[in-house]
Amino acid sequence: MNAYPRINIHLDTITDNTKNMVSVCANHNVKPAGVTKLACALPEVANAILAGGITLLADSRLSNLKKIKHLRAQTLLLRLPALSEVEDVVEFADISLNSELVTLQALSKAAQAKGKRHQVIVMHDLGDLREGGFFEEETLALCREATHLPGIELVGLGTNLACYGGVEPSNSNQSQLVALARQVEADNQLTLQYVSGASSAGLGLMMRSELPKGVNQLRLGASLLMGIGLNDDPVPNTRQDTFQLEAEIIEIKVKPSVPTNSTALDAFGNKPEFVDRGLRRRALCAIGKQDVDISELTPVDKNIIVIGGSSDHLILDINDCEQPYEIGTPVKFDLSYGAVLQCMTSEYVHKHMI
């Protein structure tokens, strides 16, 4: 018997998207990392990415890297390591992104204790104002310190864009990163393995042949798993139908469109507003705001109107639908990136591999 709510995951689409992106990147001398965080690093999804030709799997959370450490791939921790987790970072991540000397020193001690050599990519902030040193002198100094720490190997310079500040990857800011990387190499007499320019948001720049030579890594997640890049625009040669949510109808009733004497706040502290459409046929589905932001759901049936919901219920207007919905019928929804992330994180949403 089918279990609902569930998110359907098309593994073959992920593999096809990955193959296409690996091929396109190779044409521009870029070797992508495959980011698994959208799928909470489910091993089935990670294997689908590996089947597409990826050799480096990346995730923001150590608990996710633990799920895939047994797979035949290198692992990269995307979120800056916390001091409280450095022992696990050295154990489960081959590479980590870093921006703080105290953290690098702690990683050095942990690596020495385990008899390991931990690789690090130092992050530089090019204006998006998330992680990394903002001033070049600061980043250069951190790189110099990293080269002198036992158990630590400086292997790259990276930056993050279009995640917090909405700064788009450009030829200008990527050229700044390459120039700084060359300075790091000259100062420390080494060759960096990675100049890690951006996420899937940088694919458009690369495909227009505007990504500077020297940027040799992009951290790809959304493009592999959902076929989207900057501003959630579709990426050429990919499909966007990897994920689909199904939620089961548990009630169908004809009711007014506006509650009777609505004066209180809703369960989330908001003052609700309503559109009076008269008496309408409405359906309750067994999923709610605890699982997903319902404003990020798009019904596949275009005649369905998402009215609202509470923690555990989704309320739909099915009055104008041609399909004969009944109790027990699953309703299908397309999802935004944020909605996929929430559904994958919710333990109440079943994951169905296809």
Phi, psi of 2 (to 5 degrees): -65, 145
Catalytic residue among 19, 31, 37, 255: 37
Quick one: angle between helices 136-147 and 101-114, nearest 10? 20
H-assigned helices in the chain: 11-26, 43-51, 62-68, 86-92, 101-114, 136-147, 171-188, 203-207, 222-225, 337-345
- The percent of the chain in helix, strand and coil, each rounded to the nearest 5, is 35, 25, 45
Instruction: Give the 3-state secondary structure of residue 181.
Output: helix
Nearby residues of 194 by Cβ (< 8 Å), 6 or more positions away: 121, 155, 156, 157, 158, 216, 217
Q: What's the rounded Cα separation, in Å, for the pair 315 and 285?
A: 7
Cα–Cα distances in angstroms (integers) from residue 346 to residues 10, 249, 288, 293, in the given order: 19, 19, 11, 12
Q: What's the rounded Cα separation, in Å, for the pair 342 and 331?
A: 18
- Please say if 66 is a catalytic residue: no
The structure tokens 């700064």 sit at 167
3-state secondary structure 228-271: ECHHHCECCCCCCCCEEEEEEEEEEEEECCCCCCCCCCCCCCCC
How far is it between the farthest Cα atoms of the chain? 75
Residue 159 has a CB neighbour count (10 Å cut-off) of 29
Just list the catalytic residues.
37
